[in-house]
Chain A
Amino acid sequence: MKAENDTLELSQPTETHPYDFGITRRSFTKLLGGGLMFAVSHLRGSAQESGQRSHGGFLGAGAPNLAARIHLGTDGTITVMCGKVEGGQGARAEITQAAAEELRVPVEKIQLILADTSLVPDDGMTVGSGTTPRTVPAVRQGAAAARNLLIGFACSQWSLEPASLAVRDGRVIHANATSALSYADLARSDDAAKQFQQAIPSGIELTPVKEWKVLGTPVHRPNARAIVTGTHQYPSDITRSEMLYGKVLRPPSYNAKLISIDLTSAKAMKDVIVVQDDQFVGVAASNSSLAAKALQALASAAKWENVPGPKPSSKDLVEYLRQNAEGGVPANPFADLLAGAKSLRRTYYVPYIQHGPLEPRAAVAEWKDGRLTVWTASQSPFGVQKELARAFHLSDQSVRVIIPDFGGAFGGKHTGECAVESARLAKAAGRPVSLRWTREEEFTWAYFRPAAVIDAEASLDAHGKIATWHFININSGPNAVDTPYSIARKECRFIASKPPLRHGSYRGLAATANNFAREVFMDGLAAAAGADPLDFRLVHLDDPRLCAVLQRAATEFQWSERSKQKGAAVGLACGVEKGSYVAACVEVALDRQRGQLKVTRICQTYECGAIINPANLLSQVQGAISMGLGAALREEVRFENGKILNGSFAEYLVPRFADVPDMDIQLIDRLDLPSAGAGETPIIAIAPAIANAVFRATGSGVRSLPVQVPKTSS
């Protein structure tokens, strides 16, 4: 369970401003000490673990019975219900495949309802690459149970033994019989309703991998046509009758507190509703421009004061995070073994970065008879339901949260603040309100991937093998902090610090930082040992799966030949996280006069057990590499004095077509191994591979992200 606990840590962002809009309104200051849905303290697992199986928790309670998972219509429709969300990572295709496989029907027969708290079971948050290893099997269990009921029904109808029957294309048939029974026939049977009220048996035998007909195939996203025609309604597209458009007044900086505000001029505007509830100030109007004008009037009538306290800037982060490391930074316990040995000591830095999903946070809230319905984007539908219930002092049952397939998350949409804000505006307006955050709001008031300071120190023995290893991650988290290399004496630890920005999950979480630092440090050690980086790694690896991806990537890339060429700007890196194995080789073109680099060749090998959808897996691997390129080349949130300095796509540069070369991807399909999720791990090798290519070409070691190319003076 260790891996899951690691995932839990940081699975909820650090919380700063929990809303409370109840009858007994209290101040935010008092609330800060109050109970939140999840433990507010970041980077500690205990309280979150205790909520794992509960409603709204990390893993969810799952389907209490078969009826909660599958509905068979007497008209032949098959509806599957699941609490996961689709944000582009491919859950909709994979869960459809899971049900179709076990029900023995084509994927087109399955209607899949995702993430509507009134209709689906709580399958937990869509995080931690958990859908493939946990939800797909859970849905298969339910579908297999329904298939067994169909067989049982036929047995009773025909007085036959189950072994003589088979289900094909949604119908149970007997080898000698001309008649057949369908799921619609089962739905019409007297006992069906009662049978579906039973819990899903846990030990049902699932279809063996070698008999898969739907799983393991490249099924496209079922609602793809609605995407290319523009008819799919994302959360920001939801339109309700009489709906207004909202805006929320934001403080001028993180440290600011509202002292006073004159609402008069905004209230005087026609067709504008103004809301103030303690620190919350917002407007709703008949269109967004009008709302923006009203907001402008409010902004110019607001007085703020700065809350005293430290205001570190992004420039000072290395020192700040180190100084605030909880309990101090531990000394190397192997220090006395370093004397006389070849050793290396480095500090690495990884900045705050933003997820930047292309669809900013959006929510439409509608109140009716004291009940609240909200359409929004979140990776935690039941968590947002609880967040809304808490903010408005409602029962969970009075709140319905619907998550339409939305525009990207990457770990950045665990929360429901936009949902709460839209609900507050809608409550005041007495009409539905759509609130769409601006890009600036998304860059400022969402949360960030944490920055990391990583201290690494290691020594080599007389044979050039690593003798001691000391590796400390400050602030960003424990994922992949341990080394996959076999080293006799090692200490790998994560230490929390005092995060100056609200931080939370991200694709791969801290594995991005830890893998970057470790793999770059490995190349430094290889150089110190006079060894080739590939050979140096292989000597220290005894995990056959990691060896396999590393050797495959190196072979495909022709590492041995390419790396021997004079001045070759090639690098490699590998890693394991959440049960998936990855290795990347890259070639870069350096412009040392201008200090620029371009990645010209990417070769990555990926292995995550049995592949359940090769097309989707390829998309995830290509997408993660592209996103990793951004972090490697340019992405860095800069801030000063409680303000984000580059909160726009014009200033915060994410990868574009020209940055992303065609890729040589190898997916190893291990049909003998359980399937692991792949939304995150393919991101972790690209940045260190690029850094290692720069080191190889220039001799100058990269210590931080984004990678800086050392300029030549000429």
Chain B
Amino acid sequence: MDAPIGFTLNGKPQAIVTDPDRSLLEVLREDLHLTGTKFGCGEGACRACTVLINGEPTPSCLAPVSAVNGQTVLTIEGLERNGHLHPVQEAFLTEGAFQCGYCTAGMIMGVIGVTRRNPHATEHDIFAELDHHICRCGSYVKYRAAVRRVVDLTQIEKRRA
């Protein structure tokens, strides 16, 4: 009998009993019905499946669900607060920074991961992380504009502080 795996998912406690070798991506999508995190390649090469584990952007297709026991997981579904989008979501929306949008959730989580790790992250830092991601529609130029908008926002907030 598989032991229960417990973790914090989008701010709430979550427990699940399942085969511990299943990927976090599969459990999120098939058991917990959080389908905002996407499958793209299954080998961590496209990062469509990026979630934050303890704040770090991680390809959830490679992480066995057992690895998040006792950890904190944030997915795209956990960003909205009282109907308000996260500023990174707002920036992507304002720029129309996607075409098919299948890579968008992973990109947004990647950007948020970098800015959480380093609140002073430059656009260079963010692009270094995003270079792990694939946008097959080639929306890179508009994604870049969205990231610059995010960086500008953090600069503005820093000046305010």
Contacts and interface: CB of A to CB of B under 8 A. Distances in A.
Interface of A: 87-90, 220-221, 224-225, 227-234, 236-237, 239, 245, 287-290, 356-360, 405-408, 410, 436, 438-439, 615, 619-620, 622-627, 629, 648-650, 654-658, 660, 662-663
A649 B44 CA distance: 9
A289 B61 CA distance: 12
B52 interface: no
B66 interface: no
A439 B35 CA distance: 18
Contact of B138 (A221, A436, A625, A649): A625
A649 B135 CA distance: 12
A245 B100 contact: no
Q: Is the interface of B mostly helix, strand, loop or mixed?
A: loop
Interface string B28-43: 0111011111111111
A623 B138 contact: yes
A408 B75 CA distance: 22
Contacts of B139: 619, 622-623, 626
B140 A626 contact: yes
Contacts of B99: 88-90, 408, 619-620, 623
Nearest to B132: A656
20 contacts: A224-B96, A228-B89, A229-B85, A237-B35, A239-B33, A406-B100, A407-B100, A407-B102, A408-B137, A439-B42, A620-B99, A622-B139, A626-B139, A627-B138, A649-B43, A649-B45, A650-B41, A654-B136, A657-B130, A657-B133
Given A288-B30, A358-B46, A657-B131, A229 B36 contact: yes
Contacts of B143: 657
A224 B93 contact: yes
Given A289-B26, A623-B138, A648-B45, A656 B102 contact: no
Contacts of B108: 228
A410 to B, nearest CB: 8
Given A357-B100, A615-B96, A230 B76 contact: yes
Interface in B88-135: 89, 92-93, 96, 98-105, 108, 127, 130-135
Interface string B141-155: 111100000000000
Contacts of A288: 26, 30
Instruction: Please list the 5 inter-chain residue pairs (A to B) with the smallest Cβ-Cβ separation, ordered nearest first.
Output: A230-B36, A626-B138, A88-B100, A407-B102, A230-B76
A627 B138 CA distance: 6
A358 B48 contact: yes
Given A227-B101, A360-B39, 20 more contacts: A88-B137, A221-B96, A229-B79, A229-B85, A230-B105, A231-B77, A237-B29, A287-B31, A288-B26, A357-B100, A358-B38, A358-B136, A406-B102, A439-B42, A615-B96, A623-B99, A627-B136, A650-B41, A654-B136, A658-B127
A229 B138 contact: no
A439 B29 CA distance: 17
B56 interface: no
B157 interface: no
A232 B76 CA distance: 12
Contacts of A357: 100, 102, 136
A551 to B, nearest CB: 24
A405 B102 CA distance: 10
B134 A649 contact: yes
Q: Is the interface of A mostly helix, strand, loop or mixed?
A: loop
A229 B89 contact: yes
Contacts of B30: 245, 287-288
Given A230-B37, A237-B35, A439-B40, A657 B19 contact: no
B52 to A, nearest CB: 13
Interface in B1-49: 18-19, 21-23, 26, 29-31, 33-43, 45-46, 48
A656 B137 contact: no
A356 B102 CA distance: 12
B43 A234 contact: no
Contact of A656 (B19, B22, B36, B131): B131
Given A234-B102, A288-B26, A648-B45, A358 B141 contact: no
Residue with the highest number of chain A CB atoms closer than 10 Å, among B130, B132, B137: B137
Given A228-B85, A229-B76, A230-B77, A358 B135 contact: yes
Residue with the highest number of chain B CB atoms closer than 10 Å, among A245, A289, A654, A657: A657
Nearest to B99: A88
Contacts, number: 179
Contacts of A225: 85, 93
Interface of B: 18-19, 21-23, 26, 29-31, 33-43, 45-46, 48, 75-77, 79-80, 85, 89, 92-93, 96, 98-105, 108, 127, 130-144
Contacts of B26: 287-289
B141 to A, nearest CB: 5
Contacts of A660: 138, 140-141
B39 A436 contact: yes
A406 B103 CA distance: 11
Given A358-B46, A656-B134, A658-B131, A289 B21 contact: yes
Contact of B36 (A231, A405, A619): A231
A448 to B, nearest CB: 15
A237 B105 CA distance: 13
A359 B37 contact: no
A622 B99 CA distance: 11
Residue with the highest number of chain A CB atoms closer than 10 Å, among B39, B43, B103, B130: B39
A87 B132 CA distance: 23
A406 B92 CA distance: 19
B19 A228 contact: no
A504 to B, nearest CB: 17
Contacts of B98: 88, 224, 227-228
Contacts of B38: 234, 236, 358-359, 407
Contacts of B135: 358, 626
A87 B93 CA distance: 18
Contacts of A229: 36, 76-77, 79-80, 85, 89
A122 B80 CA distance: 38
B40 to A, nearest CB: 5
Contact of B96 (A220, A287, A656): A220
Contacts of B79: 229
B65 to A, nearest CB: 10
Given A234-B38, A358-B134, A228 B92 contact: yes
A660 B43 CA distance: 23
A663 B96 CA distance: 17
Given A358-B136, A648-B41, A408 B102 contact: yes
A584 to B, nearest CB: 14
Contacts of A221: 96, 101
